Amino acid sequence: MKLQFDPNQQYQLDAVAALTDLFEGQPQGAPEYSVIHVEGMGGLFAGQTRTELGVGNHLLFSEEKLLANTRGVQVRNDIEVTHPDASLEAWELFDAAANEPRRCPHFSVEMETGT
């Protein structure tokens, strides 16, 4: 058996677009990736979230914009929105740098593989 990978399968491209389009309007950061170690938060990492999973950018647009982007992706993919006025599902996390709780929206993207 020989496995072949085709990076241009439409169902994969659609799934990637569904995810990336949620963040339409978020300014792009530097495209480089690096592994780093720092003792404290601040300086180079001001405005970023650092956990055991890595360093992530904060969203620079509102949750309302994220909701509008989500609805756009749902409409484009013919996903029924049963409660259009509902807010995004989210976890509440404690933001140690800001010393306050904040909402952390979460998403699921399903991909049809044709199998």
**In a domain? residue 15:** yes
Q: What is the domain range of residue 61? A: 8-22+48-115
Nearest Cα to Cα of residue 25 among 66, 57, 72:
66
* Dist. CA 15–CA 21, nearest whole Å: 10
Q: How many domains does the chain have?
A: 1
Who contacts 93 (Cβ-Cβ below 8 Å, separation ≥6)? 101, 102, 103, 104
74 pLDDT tier (thresholds 50, 70, 90): very high
**In a domain? residue 32:** no
Quote the pTM value.
Answer: 0.69
Residue 2 sits at φ, ψ, to 5 deg, of: -125, 125
User: How do residues 9-65 score in pLDDT, each as one tens digit?
Assistant: 888 888 889 999 999 998 876 666 555 555 555 555 555 555 555 656 677 889 999
**In a domain? residue 29:** no
